[in-house]
Structure 1
Amino acid sequence: MQQPDQNKLDAFLSKMVGDLGSVATGALVVLGDRLGFYKAMQSGDRMTAAELARRTGTHERNVREWLAAQAAAGYVGYDRDEDSFYLNAEQATVFADEDSPAFMAGAFEAVSAFWLDEPKVAEAFRTGKGLAWHDHSACLFRGTERFFRPGYNANLVSSWLPALDGVVDKLKQGARVADVGCGHGASTVVMAKAFPKSHFTGFDYHGASIDRARKAAADAGVAANTSFEVAQAKTYPGSYDLVAFFDCLHDMGDPVGASAHVRETLKPDGTWMIVEPFAHDHLAANLNPVGRMYYAASTMICTPASLAQEVGLGLGAQAGEVKLRQVVSAGGFTRFRRAAETPFNMVLEARP
């Protein structure tokens, strides 16, 4: 048995205490989000536990403990002299403002599925049969939409679409767009609001998500230029000027087959827009905080989802540009480039 260096062991245990605290605090973020605590504190006004409890219709003693834990984590501020708590502008942006590109409460909700569905994932590890997206807990579907939507709001119309050659002009004039793997329709709605002359069809194999997307489009006032259908990535119908895949190609069991189908449904001068999690092409370059998050999500969600389908290629959320280029080329595309990127996403453009 290896004998640890005591100083290195102490340092590693200190890291473990921090990581364990982060995991424990994550559950409290979900709790506070659900109970409306962050929204009630969004103004930045200082308030006692009793005041927050009154505003949210909750029990003061429980609220006091939640606030103390959040203050210890640095997620809320604490005024010792007044024994009161508050959100500063940065904390409010992250936890209370759902329209902010920095909003993170949805991510914590999505990550709840890691714990809830761990027994299912463990069985998938044993059998190799994978775990389909629809077999996860509902918090994953809600949290994923809430996590990705702020990024779409911030980047999709302002920078991602303009980075594609000639696409914005087509959308302004009136184009046909397929949003494949649309989930709850957040990306579809953002595009439909920005380009009312174009028509956007969202496709997803998950019927419950399509129902939610239809409601989201109606609520946003874009029902007239959107439609949503239950369909697979390899069988969706139609012919399009733009086909978009947002953070879903790597989840597919047969991404090469999906690529070939996009090629068939794309007009000769059309564009395939592929948004994928940011990743370098070698594991060693992804050993960083973003890679840590994405590899965890890939372990619990993305790779098992792919393995549960036909072929089951299992690209994973950190596939990288080289592997994605191979998938796209195998589908019959001859032009491929990285059009834009953020710390969390790569925006790839493919053309026939």
Structure 2
Amino acid sequence: MSTHTASHRADPAGIATTPSAAADGAPPHLDLEQVGAFAQQVGMMLAGGATAAMMVVGDRVGLYAALAGSGPVTPAGLAARTGTAERYVREWLAQQAAVGIVRHDPQTGTFVLPAEHAAVLASDDSPAAMIGAAPLVTGLHRRTDELAEAFRTGRGVPWSEQDPAIFESIERFFRVGYRNSLLSEWVPAIDGLSDRLHDGATVVDVGCGRGAPLLLLAEAFPASRFVGYDVHEGSVEVARRRADEAGLADRVRFDVGDAHGFADRDVDVVTYFDAFHDLGDPVGAAAHARAALADDGRLLLVEPRAADDLATTLATVPLAPISFAASTFLCTANSLSQPVGLALGSQAGEGRLTEVLHEAGFGTVRRAAANDFNMVLEARV
């Protein structure tokens, strides 16, 4: 036991202070209301992280899909519908009720998933679907040790070393946005692009991942030809399988390749779907794309929505919290693992991206379209 005899007092929160606290540079007192309020805020953040894991489980075993449109259901009834164990389902429903995802009726012991909530969580086919983002959070948690080491060394973390849940989540979540906006908003926003694709164009997509946007384009424009490149072999294999399953393999090709190595020339359109900011050398990649384009070709960048300054981004971008987290774990880390390592980050903003494209030799850059999640930049020589 300590024999220190200096006088101590404890504040109502149990935080001990000493007469020397102010002299040591610590604040002389704390605003306990602010401490309590922030503690509650942190508790909600932690609850969000835990809930993301519960969302992944609910999605995996079909609980959300079974709840959608079912009306009030007991834990035993939901377990019977999904072939799951009632005791686990009971605990899962209690947690979902605690965060407001489902509603609990204490009189009947039933739970219900409101239709508006089901639109967000029960199916990837919904225009409002966000359940595909849940595995992203799971994947980030599995790479905390690697990222902490990267903080200490400054080295990057290659995309190929991310958790497999990341690749699943990127495809599922981003595909919703592409399905909602690519054909109805973004293609029409580019002068003459729809006609060109209808007549027959050559499109190269760099950083194609599992190929979701390219397959949407190929299905809509059967006269055109499409090639996708990605450095991650596993994603390319999935993209090829998706093309075969959709009956599009005769018009869509997916190959392993990087932004600086593809040999295609006289290309009508080069696209980057949420991938340009991940590159180590985006200036060099854009210059390579410019060399691949036909004289009247254009480069299209689909990038996360962001302002040109941090304060505006924080105030106006709804997904800024998760975007900056993903950028830290994935985008910035991936860029730093490559030569040059410019590390634009996912929230680079239109101004910075325009600077990069001008430096690569593009004369005209404009914002063609934007929504709550993405902005589309068009660049021409």
TM range, smaller chain: over 0.9
Q: Secondary structure at the match of 2:319?
A: helix
Per-residue displacement from partner, 1:79-108 (whole Å, max 9, x unpaired)?
333211222211111111211232111111
1:247 maps to 2:274: yes
Q: Distance in 1 between matches of 2:377 and 2:92?
A: 42
Q: Distance in 2 between matches of 1:42 and 1:333?
A: 49
The amino acid that maps onto 2:373 is: F
Per-residue displacement from partner, 1:218-247 (whole Å, max 9, x unpaired)?
222222211101110111121211111000
Q: What's the C-alpha RMSD, in Å, of the aligned pairs?
A: 1.1
1:172 maps to 2:201: no
What is the match of residue 285 of structure 2?
258
What is the match of residue 312 of structure 1?
341
1:344 maps to 2:366: no
The amino acid that maps onto 2:362 is: F
What is the match of residue 105 of structure 1?
131
Per-residue displacement from partner, 1:298-326 (whole Å, max 9, x unpaired)?
11111010000010000001111111011
**Among 265, 282, 303, the residue aligned to 2:309:** 282
Q: Secondary structure at the match of 1:276?
A: strand
The amino acid that maps onto 2:144 is: E
Q: Distance in 1 between matches of 2:59 and 2:41?
A: 27
- How much does 1:18 deviate? 1.5
Q: Distance in 2 between matches of 1:297 and 1:130?
A: 14
Once the two structures are overlaid, the 10-residue window that deviates more, 15-24 or 268-277, is: 15-24
What is the match of residue 238 of structure 2?
212
1:235 maps to 2:261: yes
Q: Secondary structure at the match of 1:130?
A: coil
Runs of 4+ deviating beyond 6 Å: none
What is the match of residue 14 of structure 2?
none
**Among 314, 320, 326, the residue aligned to 1:297:** 326
Once the two structures are overlaid, the 10-residue window that deviates more, 149-158 or 232-241, is: 232-241
- How much does 1:77 deviate? 2.4
Q: Distance in 2 between matches of 1:78 and 1:225?
A: 50
1:116 maps to 2:145: no
- How much does 1:61 deviate? 0.6
TM-score, scaled relative to structure 1: 0.98
Rg (Cα) greater in structure:
2
Q: Distance in 2 between matches of 1:111 and 1:244?
A: 27
- How much does 1:265 deviate? 0.6
The amino acid that maps onto 1:266 is: L
* Unmatched segments (≥5 aa) in structure 1: none
What is the match of residue 128 of structure 1?
154
Q: Could you say which structure has the higher helix fraction?
A: 1
Count of aligned positions: 352
What is the match of residue 361 of structure 2?
332
The amino acid that maps onto 2:298 is: T
The amino acid that maps onto 2:319 is: V
CA contact (8 A) 1:176 1:200 kept: yes
What is the match of residue 224 of structure 2?
198
The amino acid that maps onto 2:330 is: I
CA contact (8 A) 1:192 1:199 kept: yes
Q: Distance in 2 between matches of 1:222 and 1:82?
A: 51
Q: Distance in 1 between matches of 2:325 and 2:222?
A: 38
Q: Identity across aligned pairs (percent)?
A: 47
Q: Distance in 2 between matches of 1:77 and 1:97?
A: 19
The amino acid that maps onto 1:315 is: L
- How much does 1:44 deviate? 3.5
What is the match of residue 59 of structure 1?
85
What is the match of residue 178 of structure 2?
152
CA contact (8 A) 2:204 2:228 kept: yes
TM-score, scaled relative to structure 2: 0.90
CA contact (8 A) 1:44 1:88 kept: no
The amino acid that maps onto 1:62 is: Y
